[in-house]
Amino acid sequence: MDGITGTLFMLIPMFAIFYFLLWRPEQTKRKKHQAMLENLTKADEVVTNGGLHGKIVGVDKDLVVLSIAEIGDQNVKVEVSKGSIAFVKKGGELIEGE
């Protein structure tokens, strides 16, 4: 019995360490990113996971339309899934969730 108790007293602090150092920060980061995705609006400048920089010209439920370049008087637009947006750019700085 004494060996089992000692093992339990070792496992409980290890689980607590894993929770506070790994799982909890990852959950808060995921929640911030999800909130950022829900608050995307037109004219936000964003960066996708693939590295595309662009300005949002349209937001749908799961899609975002980005204007990535202007050639003459025409805009080059791309549709990307909302989940592929990594960062919002504000003042030249990348912000991931607020």
- Predicted local confidence at residue 9, as pLDDT: 87
How many DSSP H helices and E strands does the chain contain? 2, 6
- Give pTM, 2 decimals: 0.75
Domains, in order of start, for the chain: 2-95 (2.30.30)
- Helix or strand or coil: residue 40? coil
Please name the residues in contact with 28: beta carbons below 8 A apart, sequence gap of 6 or more. Answer: none
Strand order of the sheet with strand 74-81?
74-81, 63-71, 53-59, 45-48, 85-90, 93-95
- Answer for the pair 54, 78: CB distance below 8 angstroms, yes or no: yes
Reported as a single tens digit per residue, the pLDDT across 11-50 is 999 999 989 998 999 999 999 999 999 999 998 999 999 9
